[in-house]
A = this chain, B = another copy of it.
Amino acid sequence: MGVPPPAPRAPGRSKSLEATPERIRAAAIAAFAEDGYGATTTRSIAQQLGMSGAALYLHYPSKEALLFEISRGGHEEALAVVLESDQPTASPSDRLRRVVHAFAKWQAVNSKLARVLQYELRSLEEGHLQVILTIRRQTSGVLESIITHGYRVGEFRASDPPGALLAISSLCVDTCRWFPSQSYPDAEQVAEFYGDVALRIVGAATMRSANVT
């Protein structure tokens, strides 16, 4: 999540000084995911880390500031994963499969963090929300450009390209809500299957030929 390395530990340092921003964020993610953002206080997070409220305040001047940093870090990480997985020179089908695989897998592996990102957007201040929505549009933009290209060259043929983008994004994001399930306990297996599902949703040529049995 683009976190600076923890400060070196000085001998005799008190427990509170060991609470790095990274540890604070990890404790906050667990609390927000478990109890909800609204029911969590910065005081309870500080207590859990054995630090004072004032020490936490030095890093995060408010609960919302803490949520914003978690949200920004998480969304940037998801965007990076999506960008890295894309191979713009590959076919639209290959690109779509790879990007959906990476995005769905990230949601599954980071399901606790991802739930905080998805369900606490409403708790962000307006300016912060706009920052996050910009990152989300970039992530969605990767999928959109692949889908648009696939339709333009005739490789994708199902109706309604904007609908396909919506359904594919929704499928990936919702993974954080239900993962793991009894029939899908493995993130790699989900990611693999969702790559196929995405190709079915856009009516990809490869899926069309596979269908004609």
User: Which residues of chain A have a CB within 8 Å of any CB of chain B?
Assistant: 34-40, 118-119, 122, 157-160, 162-163, 166-167, 170-171, 173-175, 177-178, 181, 183-184, 193-194, 196-197, 200-201, 203, 207-208, 211-213
Min Cβ gap A18→B in Å is 28
Our pick among B178, B183, B197 for the contact of A201 (Cβ within 8 Å) is B197
Our pick among B162, B197, B208 for the contact of A183 (Cβ within 8 Å) is B162
- Copies of this protein in the assembly total 2
Interface of chain A, helix or strand or loop or mixed?
A: helix
Our pick among B38, B160, B174, B183 for the contact of A170 (Cβ within 8 Å) is B174
CA distance A97 to B174 in the complex (A): 21
Given contacts A171-B170, A174-B171, are A158 and B118 in contact (CB under 8 A)?
no
Our pick among B163, B174, B208 for the contact of A212 (Cβ within 8 Å) is B208
Min Cβ gap A172→B in Å is 10
